[in-house]
Chain A
Amino acid sequence: MKPAPFDFVAATSVAEAVALLGERDDARVIAGGQSLMQLLNFRTAQPGTLVDVNRIVGLDGVRRDGDFLAVGALTRHAALEAHPVAREQLPPLAEVIPYIGYAAVRHRGTIGGSFAYGAPYAELPLVAVTLGGEVIVEGAEGRRTIPIEEFFLGHLETAVGPQELVVEVRFRLPAAEAGFGFREIAPRRHDYAIASAAALVQLDSSGAVGSARIGVGSAHPTPIRVNTAEETLIGRRPDAVALAEAGQAAAAAIEPLGATEADRTYRRRVVAVMVQDALAQAIERSREAGS
């Protein structure tokens, strides 16, 4: 469990980091190292150069920007969880972050790393997929903004180019009347989830579902928004039957991860349960918000 040899350069500015990524063969960013270090130690990844972004001043931070909460790529999970602006503008973040690993992981791991790595189990990408958002990356040609719908391309595969740096992640702020719900199941409290679901629901004045956004994590190669599940709910009273149907629709929409058929079957089953429960929580909160 020792990495293969590599060069190490600590960048001090975004420009320098981007330049290094362009110049060096086979360069890779290291941020919190919470995902990359395993790959290095198992020699699954053998980059020629590691470009350390930890010393770049100003790459972290949280602010409201119009309809978005903008989070600097180097912001640690724990810092985001505790940040007053985040807590006020987007309470779901502080609700979901405690599910990310354990405290040590949350103090090292970064938001940018979490999105750039593109792991299907990652909670914050699931939140972004569910609420809506965008990711800003910088490369030799300058900055570009990638809508979240176009960001996650496949298992551990994102739209970030090998010579680009993620600089900011932007979460769309939900309407005040919308309720958010989240559930996940993991073998143990701190584990990567086996299945997770997030939901954002707004009820209309009659108590029927006005709008619904449902995201599923961990079970599919990427975090995924399940429109088919959302559609089963719109205009309907959100009773147990409706929720169960939405859960089933979500389970049917995913291509479950898993090494064996048993794993895949199990994931489908629990995705349905997680979606139902996340919806129930979202609906409850939407009722509270509306009353």
Chain B
Amino acid sequence: MAVQSDESTNLVGARVKRTEDGRLLTGRGQFVDDLVLPRMLEAAVLRSPHAHARIVGVDASAALAMEGVFGVLTGADIADEVEPQPVIYHVLPDQRATDTRAIATDRVRWVGQIVAAVVARDRYVAEDALAAIVVDYEPLPVVANLDAALAADAPRLYDDWPDNVVGNIEWSNGDADAAIAGADAVVARRMSVGRLLGCPLEPRGCVASWDPFTDDLDIWMSTQSPNLARDLLGETLRLPGHRIRVRVPDVGGGFGNKFDFYPEEIIASLLSKRCGRPVKLLEDRAESFVATGQSREVVIEATMAAKADGTIVALKAEVRTVCGGALGTVGVGPGWLSATMMTGVYKIPNVDVRLSPVLTNRAPMGSFRGWGQPEANFVNERLIELLAEELGIERNEMRRRNFPAPEEFPYETGVVFTYDSGQYGQCLDLCQDSVRESGWPQRLEAARAEGRSVGIGYGFHVEATAFGPSRILNLVGLNHSGFDEAVVRIDSTGRVTAFTGQVAMGQGIETALAQLTAQTMGVALQDVVVVSGDTATCPYTGYGTGASRGAAMGGASLMRATELLREKVKRIAAYQLEAAPEDLEIHNGRISVRGTPSIGVTLAEIGNAAYRRLSDFPADEDATLEERYVFDPENLAWSYGCTAALVEVDRRTGVTQVLDYVIAHDCGTVINPMIVDGQIHGGATQGIGEALYEELVYDDQGGLTTTSFADYTLPSACEVPRFTLHHMDTPAPHIPGGMKGMGEAGTIGGPAAIANAVDQALADIGVEVRAIPITPPRLLDMIETATREGGRS
């Protein structure tokens, strides 16, 4: 036999080019809008222009009379037909319900809330008809922002609530007040994070087809969570699961937004049921600003205290998430994660954290990459620097003094979580070394000599990934699971098909999971295909493709299923070769006796025997080659990283520019470094956006003023520096394969690093950033105020 290079080993860790890219980059992707079904109609929805109003009446008669219009749905039409939109997180013991249906029935509570829907020949006609629907609103007083919501005489969004507070929860460990009283240095700040929107290139959309004879609902959705969507469609539409099939076409980015479950999916289904024809309902870009889950906006009042030697002794925080007019699918989940991660990467013996989310007449909050973590990290990583400065300790030395040491893992934070593993000090070293090697200190000096304002900032973060242990998640209030099921099959030609519940949304999961499966089975990459995105044929993923779980959860379950199948293959080969299974090894799709490569059989031959020539097949094995595995982790896997930013501030205009950027990062076993790099680049770009560029701005009447990409300014290639990345790979001890997730990393560590850098750039006048985004007008105001007040005392 000719000696052949082994293509089936060393796949994990290799910079394999993504197999999906050819298709996606040459325009051959099939996204939900590419889907055209016979007799399909198109729908559009009418959205409230008022932030808060009673619906007195809806007159759709003119719309219904228009040529090409097939039907109109109003709140009254659906009130008895559907359950309220689901909320899967109930993390507050006294959490109140907002119970709103897919179409508002009696009252609107945010600009953009759906009040009616039209189904028509095409989208043009549907939009013409929207213009003909007359809604009679009786405006109500608007709760425009957090202060308005908390005012003593604030109008209430829900008449049966005593106020606008969703609920409360508190965690405490030790005695924070006593520790603060006895500390050598204390910093207390009120900090805030602006309201953001995840902006995938492809907005949301679905095509629903309801068979009027069988009541089968076939729905194609641009979603990250097909199994969850199926369950929630069933609950909301009162349909049993077996009648619903969710399929996922190519997804043009998700960022968490498409994890959530939206009214449009219910509306398209009901419209299809009414007309007996498939219905497409897409969210256009303009709608997305009020229709896709918004995120982040929070005000955190926090106090951090330390001893003179830099040891942090206490943290207190009051987290107030600024929710919208109703709870979205994930409720106050992101706020819960902000609160529970307030301690960050530091050992803090005395902690007192409270969370009390508040409703306002803004659009509902949902999931977005980072999911509460950037908010906590921004505050935590700012406070530690302020405290270091107060104590006169170098800021990274301060960090080091408070990291749990590698041998202290698993490390219990004192607030809900246990970090599985980490070498934080080493990661910080890696980042600082890189900063030095890149010559930042010299660049800083040179710039200052020219009178330019340049600063270096750091942000260290942990990231909750591989979400998560189902029973624990249920205990803390998630009405859903966190396991992953995987199925692996070898066909009669010996090729491998890996079935996953994970969804491809441009992040490269097809390639990454194929690498892992191929290496585990001992076959070449091209001998594996990954099938995903269909609830009828794919396994169940407890949560979906979010919470940085694709590679860790999808990968671990697939790896275990593949190992089981590998054992079966070996048993069959052992039978055919008259050898012991434990003496066999598989490389390049060939099973041979270890040490005697000439004695072997190919996977193609095994496949043939398992499906077509059972005469070569052991009698005590079932025909076919397929295994299944369910992986439910015992804990989350905690990735971590250190971000350093070099920024320049123009004191005359308040403009901050990111000049250079370093991220050192540990996400356990890296399946494909190129994909990980890409994920970090994308996340870091969003982190820069969050720190400097992006903000949904509401006016004092609850109107959104940033309603297009002309004013919701995502950073573009021109605003983003070249990123320098460094990887560590400490395997997760409890995840088969050792992978930790890393999809959200870049969004978490960026804002604090940038804010810290801005502070340093303006240290001589004593500017201190307390809110992000650091927009030029805000920063210019701060610079002018600081200059007037004569610099740092």
- Is B172 in the interface zone, CB < 8 Å from A? no
- Is A144 in the interface zone, CB < 8 Å from B? no
- Is B171 in the interface zone, CB < 8 Å from A? no
Interface residues of A in 34-51 (CB under 8 A from B): 38, 41-43
CB distance from A129 to the nearest CB of B (A): 23
CB distance from B502 to the nearest CB of A (A): 32
| Chain B residues whose C-beta falls within 8 Å of the C-beta of A188 in the assembled complex | 693, 713, 715-716, 718-719
Alpha-carbon separation in the docked complex, A101 to B718 (Å): 13
Q: Indicate whether A273 sits within 8 Å of B653 (C-beta atoms), given known contacts A187-B693, A191-B713.
A: yes
In the bound complex, do residue A270 and residue B719 qualify as a contact, i.e. CB atoms below 8 Å apart?
no
In the bound complex, do residue A2 and residue B653 qualify as a contact, i.e. CB atoms below 8 Å apart?
no
In the bound complex, do residue B127 and residue A189 qualify as a contact, i.e. CB atoms below 8 Å apart?
no
CB distance from B597 to the nearest CB of A (A): 57
Q: Contacting A187 at CB < 8 Å: which of B123, B699, B713? A: B713
CB distance from B785 to the nearest CB of A (A): 13
Q: Indicate whether A266 sits within 8 Å of B777 (C-beta atoms), given known contacts A189-B716, A259-B699, A259-B705.
A: yes
In the bound complex, do residue A2 and residue B777 qualify as a contact, i.e. CB atoms below 8 Å apart?
no
Alpha-carbon separation in the docked complex, A189 to B693 (Å): 12
- Is A239 in the interface zone, CB < 8 Å from B? no
| Chain A residues whose C-beta falls within 8 Å of the C-beta of B710 in the assembled complex | 191-192
Q: Specify which of B286, B708, B777, B781 lies most central, judged by the most chain A CB atoms within 10 Å of its CB.
A: B777
CB distance from B62 to the nearest CB of A (A): 15
Q: Indicate whether A2 sits within 8 Å of B286 (C-beta atoms), given known contacts A188-B716, A191-B713.
A: no
Alpha-carbon separation in the docked complex, A190 to B710 (Å): 10
Q: Contacting A1 at CB < 8 Å: which of B128, B286, B654? A: B286
Beta-carbon contacts of A254-291 to B below 8 Å, as 1s and 0s? Answer: 00000110110110011001000000000000000000
| Chain A residues whose C-beta falls within 8 Å of the C-beta of B124 in the assembled complex | 2-3, 5
In the bound complex, do residue A190 and residue B716 qualify as a contact, i.e. CB atoms below 8 Å apart?
yes
In the bound complex, do residue A263 and residue B653 qualify as a contact, i.e. CB atoms below 8 Å apart?
no
CB distance from B636 to the nearest CB of A (A): 36
Alpha-carbon separation in the docked complex, A3 to B124 (Å): 7
- Is B18 in the interface zone, CB < 8 Å from A? no
| Chain B residues whose C-beta falls within 8 Å of the C-beta of A263 in the assembled complex | 777
- Is A4 in the interface zone, CB < 8 Å from B? yes
- The count of chain B contact residues (Cβ–Cβ below 8 Å) is 27
- Is B628 in the interface zone, CB < 8 Å from A? no
Residue in chain A with minimal CB distance to B44: A2
- Is A185 in the interface zone, CB < 8 Å from B? yes
- Is B776 in the interface zone, CB < 8 Å from A? yes
Q: Contacting B653 at CB < 8 Å: which of A41, A185, A191, A260? A: A185
- Is B285 in the interface zone, CB < 8 Å from A? yes
Interface residues of A in 1-45 (CB under 8 A from B): 1-5, 38, 41-43
- Is B655 in the interface zone, CB < 8 Å from A? yes
- Is B284 in the interface zone, CB < 8 Å from A? yes
Interface residues of A in 213-262 (CB under 8 A from B): 259-260, 262
CB distance from B575 to the nearest CB of A (A): 63
In the bound complex, do residue A2 and residue B123 qualify as a contact, i.e. CB atoms below 8 Å apart?
yes
In the bound complex, do residue B776 and residue A4 qualify as a contact, i.e. CB atoms below 8 Å apart?
no
Beta-carbon contacts of B710-723 to A below 8 Å, as 1s and 0s? Answer: 10010110110000
Q: Provide 20 A-B residue pairs closer than 8 Å at the C-beta atoms, listed in order of the A residue.
A: A1-B284, A2-B127, A3-B124, A4-B127, A5-B124, A5-B128, A38-B708, A43-B131, A187-B713, A188-B693, A188-B713, A188-B718, A188-B719, A189-B719, A190-B718, A262-B777, A263-B777, A266-B780, A270-B652, A273-B653
Task: Give me the interface of B with A, judged by CB distance under 8 Å.
Answer: 123-124, 127-128, 131, 284-287, 652-655, 693, 699, 705, 708, 710, 713, 715-716, 718-719, 776-777, 780-781
Task: Give me the interface of A with B, judged by CB distance under 8 Å.
Answer: 1-5, 38, 41-43, 185, 187-192, 259-260, 262-263, 265-266, 269-270, 273
